[in-house]
Amino acid sequence: MPVQPASANQEDAVRADLWGDFRRIRAFTEQLSKPLAIEDYVLQTRIETSPPKWHLAHVSWFYETFLLRPFLPGYHVFHPRFEYLFNSYYEQTGTGFWPRPERGLLSRPTVAEVYRYRHHVDEAMGRLIDGCSSSDWPLVEQRLRIGLHHEQQHQELLVTDIKRNFAHNPLRPAYREDLQQAAVREPDPQHWVPFDGGLIEIGAPSQGFAYDNEGPRHRTFLAPYGLADRPVTNGEFLQFVADGGYRDPALWLADGWATVQQGGWQSPLYWEQIDGDWQVMTLGGMRPLNPAEPVCHVSYFEADAFATWAGKRLPTEAEWEHAAQVCLQAGDRSPAIQGNFVEDDYLHPRPTARGDADQGGGLAQLFGDVWEWTASAYLPYPGYRAPAGALGEYNGKFMCNQMVLRGGSCASSRDHLRASYRNFFYPQERWQFKGFRLAETTR
């Protein structure tokens, strides 16, 4: 019996692993969609959100465009116009795209057709992963990994867009009635964790998957600093609200104050005062505000105003990443990360408790629960060049006017996150699970 070269065996093992990942991730998207009624699939209540049906189709379009068309001989597209309908923003595919604000105006294709589209793509992806040539495989593997992480990003958007849509409805319906709920209590006191800083390195290491925007890894200098051992809580943010934080322009950046005025903001998104008590909209419907939970659904502007009110500041992304590196090493858990993620099935931030979900090194809830706003603008790292071709549009062209968030949320997948992961959103946006932790300069 001929002995296969080790590299061929290794390649077969990687193909088998990736096919397993593909099936698991595809199935999870459909599992997240299961509680939806047909009417829920088409709704788009805000320009920044997309209908669930669109997400289900768009992630399939991604595999079709970047893998099946170029690499699977004889592949038949499911529908010739889907490349226009379900392209999000890629100019270089040459197909154009249906306007984002009008994604919710399409009753066709039906939900059933979109599921058939998904399964058509699944079947073809099985043939591609199994049968593509070894010469094509390195590029197929690279794009497949991007496609899987892309689908995980859209799983999070699916969850947050469903929440946005349901919160728009005066019935405040629950996406799921069976979600676990934490006991309402006061938060534990906040403590500070010091870091020496100095000349440090941030950015994705050369091994393992990372998006292009996480590199190149590079050196940067940090003055000594401290980070709060946990994110700011609802209870603390409530004090800011009660102290007139939303009425004092001295606390706000100019753009933030203009946004507060324009939107009539008086609290984080999804907070409602009912008969004198604060309640919040969750994926399990309305619940009493829990003071011990990390504050969530705040904009960069609100995070910054709170920090100003508290006499502190937000961490830079380099400070956050350096602290994460130190804590992961101290906890000896690298590369596994701990936290409350989508798999934990709370779909809501958990109360903050010292030692709970601790990475080691004294910082709790660094990963999961809420994305943490940083004080850093989303810019290219030194030496960054967007990759050539349409896939180069994935991250690079958004490096203007957005802010970086770190750490992932209760709607993120655990194996989607890394210490070097850079999420980015416009500073006024609140519908993701976004919170923050405080920082201080120590010298």
Contact residues for Fe ion (CB under 5 A)? 88
Dihedral sign computed on CA atoms, order 37, 38, 42, 43: negative
Question: Closer CB to Fe ion, residue 88 or residue 428?
Answer: 88
310 HSE (CA, 13 A, CB side): 24
Question: Closer CB to Fe ion, residue 129 or residue 146?
Answer: 146
Helix, coil or strand: residue 371? strand
In whole angstroms, give the CA distance from residue 239 to residue 216: 41
Write down the least CB distance from residue 211 to Fe ion, Å: 12
Contact 391, 143 (CB under 8 A): yes
Question: Closer CB to Fe ion, residue 50 or residue 299?
Answer: 50
Contact 394, 416 (CB under 8 A): no
Write down the least CB distance from residue 88 to Fe ion, Å: 5
Question: Closer CB to Fe ion, residue 49 or residue 88?
Answer: 88
Question: Closer CB to Fe ion, residue 212 or residue 369?
Answer: 212
Question: Closer CB to Fe ion, residue 88 or residue 340?
Answer: 88
What is the token pair recorded at 361? 């090194």
For the residues of 74-130, what is the DSSP string, one character each?
TPPPS-TTHHHHS--S-STTSS----GGGGGG---S-HHHHHHHHHHHHHHHHHHHH
Write down the least CB distance from residue 252 to Fe ion, Å: 32
Write down the least CB distance from residue 59 to Fe ion, Å: 7
Write down the least CB distance from residue 61 to Fe ion, Å: 9
Q: Which residues lie across from 218 on neighbouring strands?
A: 202
273 HSE (CA, 13 A, CB side): 7
Write down the least CB distance from residue 268 to Fe ion, Å: 26
257 HSE (CA, 13 A, CB side): 9
Question: Closer CB to Fe ion, residue 62 or residue 225?
Answer: 62
Q: Where are the beta strands (DSSP E) in 189-234?
A: 192-195, 198-202, 218-222, 225-228
In whole angstroms, give the CA distance from residue 402 to residue 299: 12
- State the residue number with the nearest CB to Fe ion: 88
Write down the least CB distance from residue 154 to Fe ion, Å: 6
Write down the least CB distance from residue 89 to Fe ion, Å: 8
Write down the least CB distance from residue 120 to Fe ion, Å: 19
Write down the least CB distance from residue 150 to Fe ion, Å: 6
- Residue 273: which H helix or E strand, with range? strand 271-274
Contact 128, 72 (CB under 8 A): yes
Helix, coil or strand: residue 161? helix
Question: Closer CB to Fe ion, residue 285 or residue 387?
Answer: 387
Question: Closer CB to Fe ion, residue 33 or residue 316?
Answer: 33
Write down the least CB distance from residue 405 to Fe ion, Å: 17
Question: Closer CB to Fe ion, residue 29 or residue 88?
Answer: 88
Region for 252 from its dihedrals, namely left if φ exceeds 0, alpha if ψ lies in -120 to 50, beta otherwise? beta
325 HSE (CA, 13 A, CB side): 17
Question: Closer CB to Fe ion, residue 54 or residue 195?
Answer: 54
- Residues with Cβ within 8 Å of residue 372, at least 6 apart in sequence: 231, 315, 320, 405, 406, 407, 434, 435, 436, 437
Question: Closer CB to Fe ion, residue 150 or residue 322?
Answer: 150
Write down the least CB distance from residue 6 to Fe ion, Å: 36
In the block, residue with structure tokens 């947050």: 160
In whole angstroms, give the CA distance from residue 354 to residue 429: 29
- Rounded alpha-carbon distances, angstroms, from residue 162 to 14, 172, 285, 347, 349: 34, 12, 12, 12, 17
